[in-house]
Structure 1
Amino acid sequence: MRCVNFLLCWLSFPLLTTAQCPDYSDYSREVHQPVSSGKYQLSWMRPADECRTFKSQAVEDTLVKMQEVIKDPDLYRLFQNAYPNTLDTAIKWKGFASGTDEELTFVITGDINAMWLRDSANQMQSYLPLLTASASNNSIASLYRGVINLQARYLLTSPYCNSFQPPVESGIPPAENGAANRDSVYPSYSPDNVFECKYELDSLAAFLEVSANYYSATKDLSFFGKYSWVKAIQTVLKVAEDMMTPTYGEDGRVNRQPYRFTRQTTRATETLANDGIGNPVANSTGLIRSAFRPSDDSTIFQLFIPANMMFSTYLSSTADIMGKLNASDSGPLAQKMKNLSQALRSAIETHGTVQHPTYGKIYAYEVDGFGGQTIMDDANIPSLLSAPFLGYTDTSDSTYKNTRSLILSATNPYYMRGPTITAIGGPHAGPGYAWPMAAIVRILTSDDDEEIRGQLKMILNTTAGLGLIHESVHSFNEGDWTRQWFSWANGLFGQMVLDLAGRKPGLLSESYQGLGGQKGI
């Protein structure tokens, strides 16, 4: 049975899979005509109009407008496929909380039928350039409100978890996570509500991020006084405070830890040491612990600096929202948020920086407060490379510039170099696999035209003709990649192109049909 009224379908029911609407996991593995006219002959990858999971005229208008701006046919095809990918394929359900007018939006990241706090926030951020105030249910603003409301529900249910099941109102059955069946997690959770429960500080920061982005674009203050946003913020603050608990008390006793995670696995990055509490963390750093990274890999040292940067930045932004709400506790809460934001920034600059013998003062990726430090960067956002993109610092800052020089060199153990792509990778995909996402972030944080040209050429060389941004690509083999359907990376690529259209439009009028010989490759 096919949905006749598209609006009612996506407002109230999960998208129906029919013969006319193939599973995008399969569709995105095949080349579809017409291919682009450039040397890469990139596939057309948008689903048929009736199979798209959400429609935005603003996005369609942007695609048309950018055809006049982007002169390279392959670069335009990649933008054409990638920018609308979340709307085309990943708005799994949109509706309302039972018996209310509270909008809910269930967003999958791609080929996994679950909603990550981090990914869904970043998928929404892709459309921030087009976000305007609107009360319509058929608007990007409505998508944002639905994501914020559903994330608030998730945080109030299981605040230490990172990935969640469809809301019961959707009628979509919970997804199976075989790995989670081998977990031992405290606090416990229900698999009916939670897909996976890896505590990641950046997941909490993502809720702050999507909230701050919505308000900055719409100035819709009244929305934040409705439903559960304030309670969710209080929960976020409680988790952050609890995760500042050090391993040992002043008398040397081991403190009771607020979170534990172990998993039966052959991958060290899928579990925590010391029976689930992780490596010891010292007292008095003022930093917040994170058991896992934004890659969903476990931290080595739990004071994960990029997440603390992100949390500090968006805590400040959302404190401004809280301070404007007309509630008895909003003023004290806003001040508490501002104080913590400032304290975290001071702690990062004090405990999250190290003196490198070659590069000078840099940001560490992770520290433990005992002197342990991890010097590297990972492709996933938040990363050290993305610090200016997050709003934590400026590209001209000397510590950031030193850090950038290190992480974009062989000194970074996860800087992958090869003829197909040279970019930061990470342990999630493993040595040899570079992430196009990192090349995109490099462009977003660069003012060097030659560096940007080199990265754009390289990205075009990584799709194996499929015309989508993959999760990772082997640096020596374009045909060896992971996850062809990864909506966050696709949306980020589109966001980056729109950013270039605003600040360096001349670069989009050039040809990118060759590879090599450019600075930054």
Structure 2
Amino acid sequence: MGVVTRTQLEEITPTLVAAADRVRAAVGTEVGDRVERALVRTLRDTISLDDDGAFVITGDIPAMWLRDSTTQMTPYLRFAADDPALADLLWAVVRRQFRLIEHDPYANSFNREPNGAHYDPDDLNADPLVWEQKYEVDSLAYPVTFAHALWRATGSTAVLDERAHRVFRTIVAQWRAEQDHDASAYRFVRDGAIPTETLARDGRGTPVAVTGMTWCGFRPSDDACTYGFNVPANLFAAEALLAVAAIAREVWSDTGLADDADVLRASILDGVRQHGIVPGPAGADVYAYEVDGLGGVLLMDDANTPSLLSLPLSAPSVLDDAVWAATRDFVLSPANPYWFSGTAAAGVGSPHTLPQRVWPIALAVDGLVSGSPARRRELLDVLVATDGGTGDMHESFDVEDPSRFSRPWFSWADAMFCELALAAAED
């Protein structure tokens, strides 16, 4: 396996430089320079190629997350239609994602080869290709929606082959099976771990009812769900099922799969309407972050996407605009227990990191969903000013002292900074 070669990178770099030039002209030299550096660095330093696709590390962890590898590639989607070399590289990522999902649709992250490396060697799952088997609904939704967007942009169906067809059927079947989680064989046990790193009830998770939504063990943060129905993940799954149905009908002429996806989407959305929309702190109906269908409701938001704040990006076709608007007001307020404010920044953090830590990902999402060019520019300035003097985006930083941060280089955060800057350049 080899990294992206100098020749391959040289083919793509003019596209990236041109994009950064547009940012420099619209937003300023410093932001444009950072965009160019981030776009080139991610391709150069996180991707390895072999005959079965592209393996993408997070930047600082030698494993491939299905979610992170998608979000890391998302800024490049806007250039794929006009750059065949870049489009080929993105399809290589999708091909690898489908290979990994076919290997284990419950796993969230994988090794480059079956070398037996694990986050915790004592985990219940000992598959040598699997880094972690934390089941996260978004880990399946991200590759599906990315493949759909890339197909629409390029018209190519070469990677939408029989394996992809099998993977799509597997995803629909798994989401449908996990509507009744008590009948599922999936377990996650990490002995001696803190509660967010393992699942209760001998690995089954906290009790849930059958609601129409699909169960997930872990959040996009990799933390265990408090309640088994994560609402933003379910809405993202509903959006992904639209993509499944479109590809099933238009590429594979598989009306059975398309119909199954449509039925499942309707069931998930009905479950969200019945259980996932609740009165908010200000009185208006909002989306809960998690529910169990038994009366348990968690009102919060997490910086990791899909989040409640990011729903216009992850689930634009299926969300209720009025409910989301009230939810946004809640998320960006002290009523959200993971909204933090200080002298350096104010925004959404996560129970995954220390209190008073805001995530650059959430700041970028805030700008992207705001609809305000002024807000985008304001948040770009905040992100540049809070990098702790490193020139890189981090996982989180202290709202009073940005020199205190987690993860020196987090490629997902770089990607979201680029997304915000590119959007600002288009305003």
Relative to the length of structure 1, the TM-score reads: 0.77
Compared with structure 1, are the counterparts of its residues 105 and 311 closer, same or farther at alpha carbon in structure 2 (3 Å cutoff)? same
| Deviation by residue 1:80-139 (Cα, 9 ceiling, x = unmatched) | 333333213211x11313xxxxxx0111111111110001111121211101177x5xx1
Does the CA-based 8 Å contact 1:85-1:491 persist in structure 2? no
CA shift for structure 1 position 61: 2.4
Q: Name the CA distance, whole Å, in 2 between partners of 1:182 and 1:53.
A: 43
CA shift for structure 1 position 464: 1.4
| Deviation by residue 1:473-514 (Cα, 9 ceiling, x = unmatched) | 011111100112111110121122111222x2xxxxxxxxxx
CA shift for structure 1 position 211: 1.1
Q: How does 1:384-463 map to 2 (within 5 A)?
A: 384-392=308-316, 397-463=321-387
Aligned to 2:144: 208
Give the partner amino acid of 1:439: L
Does the CA-based 8 Å contact 2:107-2:132 persist in structure 1? yes
Pair 1:107 & 2:107 matched = no
Does the CA-based 8 Å contact 1:313-1:392 persist in structure 2? yes
Counterpart secondary structure, 2:179: coil
Q: Name the CA distance, whole Å, in 1 between partners of 2:303 and 2:281.
A: 24
Q: When you count helix as a share of all residues, which structure comes out higher?
A: 2
Give the partner amino acid of 1:422: A
Question: Radius of gyration: which is bigger?
Answer: 1
Aligned to 1:147: 93
Identify the range of structure 1 (206-215 vs 385-394) with the bigger mean alpha-carbon deviation. Answer: 385-394
Compared with structure 1, are the counterparts of its residues 324 and 51 closer, same or farther at alpha carbon in structure 2 (3 Å cutoff)? closer
Does the CA-based 8 Å contact 1:144-1:210 persist in structure 2? no
Counterpart secondary structure, 1:127: helix
Out of 318, 342, 352, the position equivalent to 2:266 is 342
Does the CA-based 8 Å contact 1:200-1:290 persist in structure 2? yes
Q: How does 1:69-468 map to 2 (within 5 A)?
A: 69-71=26-28, 73-91=29-47, 93-97=48-52, 104-132=53-81, 139-167=85-113, 174=115, 176-177=117-118, 179-185=119-125, 189-191=126-128, 193-224=129-160, 226-247=161-182, 256-283=183-210, 285-326=211-252, 330-392=254-316, 397-468=321-392
Give the partner amino acid of 1:297: D
Compared with structure 1, are the counterparts of its residues 444 and 338 closer, same or farther at alpha carbon in structure 2 (3 Å cutoff)? same
Counterpart secondary structure, 2:224: coil
- Segments of 5+ residues of structure 1 without an aligned counterpart are 1-11, 17-48, 98-103, 169-173, 248-255, 505-521
Compared with structure 1, are the counterparts of its residues 232 and 298 closer, same or farther at alpha carbon in structure 2 (3 Å cutoff)? same
Counterpart secondary structure, 1:180: coil
Give the partner amino acid of 2:93: V
CA shift for structure 1 position 430: 2.5
Identity %: 32
Give the partner amino acid of 2:73: M
CA shift for structure 1 position 445: 0.2
Compared with structure 1, are the counterparts of its residues 314 and 56 closer, same or farther at alpha carbon in structure 2 (3 Å cutoff)? farther
Aligned to 1:64: 21
Give the partner amino acid of 1:82: A
Does the CA-based 8 Å contact 2:22-2:425 persist in structure 1? no
Does the CA-based 8 Å contact 1:359-1:402 persist in structure 2? no
Q: Name the CA distance, whole Å, in 2 between partners of 1:402 and 1:232.
A: 36
Question: How much is the aligned-residue C-alpha RMSD, in angstroms?
Answer: 2.3
Q: Name the CA distance, whole Å, in 2 between partners of 1:448 and 1:13.
A: 42
Compared with structure 1, are the counterparts of its residues 357 and 496 closer, same or farther at alpha carbon in structure 2 (3 Å cutoff)? closer
Does the CA-based 8 Å contact 2:209-2:292 persist in structure 1? yes
Compared with structure 1, are the counterparts of its residues 68 and 449 closer, same or farther at alpha carbon in structure 2 (3 Å cutoff)? closer
Pair 1:494 & 2:421 matched = no
- Segments of 5+ residues of structure 2 without an aligned counterpart are none
Give the partner amino acid of 2:207: P
Give the partner amino acid of 2:231: I
Relative to the length of structure 2, the TM-score reads: 0.94
Give the partner amino acid of 1:232: V
Give the partner amino acid of 2:121: N
Aligned residues: 427
CA shift for structure 1 position 237: 1.4
| Deviation by residue 1:233-257 (Cα, 9 ceiling, x = unmatched) | 111112112211144xxxxxxxx43
CA shift for structure 1 position 210: 1.6
Q: Name the CA distance, whole Å, in 2 between partners of 1:419 and 1:51.
A: 44
Compared with structure 1, are the counterparts of its residues 291 and 390 closer, same or farther at alpha carbon in structure 2 (3 Å cutoff)? same
Q: Name the CA distance, whole Å, in 1 between partners of 2:39 and 2:252.
A: 38
Does the CA-based 8 Å contact 1:361-1:402 persist in structure 2? yes
Q: Name the CA distance, whole Å, in 2 between partners of 1:154 and 1:222.
A: 18
Q: How does 1:9-28 map to 2 (within 5 A)?
A: 12-14=1-3
Q: Name the CA distance, whole Å, in 2 between partners of 1:316 and 1:51.
A: 34
CA shift for structure 1 position 74: 3.0
Counterpart secondary structure, 2:189: strand
Does the CA-based 8 Å contact 1:83-1:495 persist in structure 2? no
Q: Name the CA distance, whole Å, in 2 between partners of 1:457 and 1:277.
A: 44
Aligned to 1:508: none
CA shift for structure 1 position 344: 1.7
